[in-house]
Amino acid sequence: MPDIFAKRDADGWTLGPALDARADLTPDAPFISFRGGEPVSFGEFRARVGAAAAWLAAHGVKRGENVALAIPNCPEAIVWWFALNVIGAVDAAINPSLVGEPLAHALRLARVRKILASPSMVKPVLAVCATVPELEMLWLVPVASEDMPAPAGQGALAIETALPAASDGFCALPDGGGVRPADVATIIYTSGTTGPAKAVQMTHAQVFVVAELTRQGLWLSGDDTTFCAHPLFHMAARDCGVLPCLLTGGKLALDVRFEASQWVDRIIATGATATLMHGPLIEMVHAQPPRPQDRQMPLTRLGSSPFPRHIAHAFEERFGVRGIETWGMTEVGIPAWHPVNEKLRPGSCGKIRDEWYEFRVADPETDREVEDGVVGEFQIRPRHPGVIMAGYYGAPEETLKAQRNLWFHTGDFGHRDADGWLWFNGRASERIRRRAENISAYDIEYAANQYPGIQESAAIGVPSEFVSDDDILLCLLVAPGVAAPAPLDIMQRLAKSLPHHMLPRYITTMTELPRSATGKIRKDLLKQAFDPGESWDRVAEKISVRALYEAVEADAQAGPA
């Protein structure tokens, strides 16, 4: 596989040829191990993908067509992702916990006509299909953890079960019709900051560059097992978890979700030698009571973004692992890696892989490069075709804005020292990052604004108990002459239209919102003025998120009074 990837003409940088090459080379080697199931070999995986790809082609999926994929972590999610890419279609990777307007927006944004989803998505999709006029087909993918409902459409939306023909042994992948490395492979959704979430178009070349840099950055080989508890609608799980294993012939230990209290036990049980984690997750693990098992793990390498500087040395010592910090984003991949053979430098996200990227730190007002040691905006562009995103789908103005002056403007700030090490200082955007989830402020605000009497709202990230992690503050502007709503009533309303990770912790009611000269809400000023003691606090009030959603489910089952 490295021989194919190393070709500078990039002929092998598409998913079909890469899967064929790996399955031919090591057909019986285990590829995917999922909690509670038998490992799936590369040969068996190719057979499943071939059958699914043939099924999709027979059911009218065309090259270049966007098809939504909303399936929780399980081997089936990976099979259908690969199957779509093999025939040249684009999978729009949707968070399967989305409901209401956030789900409708994701479907509308990618202009999908078809969605492959697990059974739990039937109710949420039916609830929004009237507001997604292009959606015409819901294909249900059976997964072991969910009961299959009887297919029954609604209006113009048809529902069928996706059941490819069973195949034994070798199954050739269908002809992808000349899929090229520069073609779009997948759509990953960003967090919404000043507007709704954007759809990042990642090419086949881009995802393979991320995978190859991960292979190199973590020193992965066919002898490694990579533990992955990230959701499969994230770049981290796909391009830093699944695809590096395809390149090396190593095994992926895929888990349902991240659980801090179970992390050490899961690493031991899977025999994982490498893994990926975001900073807040590392802090959650470090906060667990020490146990003898902490030093009994086979884990040796941990890729992190970031590797929290205040516990970096202690974490390495306690768990006997090497932390490898990185910097990147969906739009550009992962351009910066801490060289694994270099001594840990807490707070630095490594060095730019300049054989793939041009990089500069620039003044955001002038776009002129600043000197080493001076804080500016990280700006980047590729040295090879297709290495960064093909653009935001359906948003040409946003694409041009991000890529102005021939550089991609990341909105991330920091500096580079004289030795070429990068130091990340913070995010200029209004993105909310909570427990490794990128959250759309727009989606929260849209839901809050539906409440009677709410004239306007602003959702912002405020510091949580974890470094590089946010809690959510919701600022409400009440219409003149209207009494301020009770925060608990707001929470109950939001629980009906937002997934749990989008629920705010803090709520404050204001008589006016600070604005710029052009009328935009100054969220930076709201963040600066935030005082936890002056806002309603869900945690302090001991409001259970689980109880809120159980009440919503109970009301739904009870139906109209």
Q: List the domain boundaries for the chain.
A: 1-26+33-218, 258-429, 432-558
pLDDT for res 351: 97
Domain 1-26+33-218 bears CATH identifier 3.40.50.300:
no
- Domain spanning 258-429 has what CATH number? 3.40.50.12780
Model pLDDT, residue 168 = 56
In the chain, the percentage of residues whose pLDDT exceeds 70 is 92
Report the percentage of the chain scoring pLDDT > 90. Answer: 65
Banded model confidence at residue 71, pLDDT cuts 50, 70, 90: very high
Q: Is 323 left (phi over 0), alpha (psi -120 to 50) or beta?
A: beta
- By the 10 Å C-beta count (0-12 exposed, 13-18 middle, 19+ buried), 262 is classed as middle
pLDDT at position 267 is 97
Q: Of 267, 262, 248, 244, whose CA–CA distance to 320 is shortest?
A: 267
Q: Of the given ranges (127-141, 150-164, 346-360), which has the lowest mean pLDDT?
A: 150-164
**What are phi and psi for residue 11, nearest 5 degrees?**
-60, -30
Does the pLDDT of residue 481 top 90, yes or no?
no
Residue with the bigger pLDDT between 314 and 446: it is 314
Residue 538's beta-bridge partner residues?
Answer: none
Q: With cut-offs at 50, 70 and 90, classify the pLDDT of residue 189.
A: very high
- The pLDDT score that the predictor gives to residue 10 is 45
Residue with tokens 């070798």: 170
Measured between alpha carbons, how far is 317 from 339 in angstroms, rounded to an integer?
19
pLDDT at residue 548, rounded to an integer? 92
- The model's confidence at residue 171, banded by pLDDT at 50, 70 and 90, is low
Sequence letter at residue 270:
T
Least confident piece of the model among 109-123, 211-225, 385-399, 545-559: 545-559
- On the question of pLDDT at 302 being above 60, the answer is yes
- The pLDDT of residue 336 is 98
pLDDT tens figures, 516-559? 655 678 887 898 899 999 999 999 999 999 999 988 888 877 76
How far apart, in Å, are the Cα atoms of 158 and each of 88, 120, 154, 250? Answer: 24, 16, 7, 40
The per-residue pLDDT for 511 is: 87
The CB-based long-range contact list for 43-46 (8 Å cut-off, 24+ gap) reads 43/169, 43/170, 45/19, 45/75, 45/78, 45/79, 45/82, 46/19, 46/20, 46/170, 46/171, 46/173
pLDDT digits 0-9 by tens, 191-237: 654 557 899 999 999 999 999 999 999 999 999 999 999 999 999 99
Is residue 441 scored above 90 in pLDDT? no
pLDDT at 86: 94
pLDDT confidence tier of residue 271, bands split at 50, 70 and 90:
very high
- E strand spans, 56-136: 66-70, 90-93, 114-117
**Arithmetic mean of pLDDT, 38-46:** 95
Q: Spell out the alpha helix ranges (H) of 367-440.
A: 396-402
Has residue 4 got a pLDDT over 70? no
What gap in Å lies between CA 134 and CA 295, rounded to an integer? 53
Q: What is the mean pLDDT of the chain?
A: 89
Q: How many CB atoms lie within 10 A of CB 491?
A: 20
Mean pLDDT, range 450-456, rounded to an integer: 89
Over residues 76-87, the mean pLDDT reads: 96
Are domains 258-429 and 432-558 of this chain identical in fold?
no
The per-residue pLDDT for range 361-371, each reduced to its tens digit, is 999 889 999 99
Residue 337 has pLDDT above 60, yes or no: yes
Question: How far is the C-alpha of 460 from the C-alpha of 463, rounded, in Å?
Answer: 10
- Is residue 104 scored above 50 in pLDDT? yes
Q: Which of 38-42, 435-439, 496-500 has the lowest mean pLDDT?
A: 435-439
Q: 306 preceded by cis ω (within 30°)?
A: yes
Q: Taking Cα atoms as reference points, which of 201, 202, 199, 203 lies closest to residue 180? A: 203
- Whole-angstrom CA distances from 471 to 128, 502, 518 are 28, 10, 28
pLDDT score, position 277: 93
Q: Distance (Å, rounded) from C-alpha 94 to C-alpha 114?
A: 13
Let me know if domain 432-558 sits in CATH 3.30.300.30. yes
The yes-or-no verdict on residue 96 having pLDDT over 80 is yes
pLDDT of residue 227: 98
Residue 242 and residue 236: Cα distance in Å, rounded? 9
pLDDT, mean of residues 466-495: 89
Q: What is the pLDDT of residue 85?
A: 96
Is the pLDDT score of 2 beyond 90?
A: no
Residue 43 is predicted with a pLDDT of 95
Which pLDDT does position 213 carry in this prediction? Answer: 95
Tell me: pLDDT of 9 over 70: no
Q: Please give the radius of gyration of the chain, using alpha carbons only, rounded to the nearest integer.
A: 23
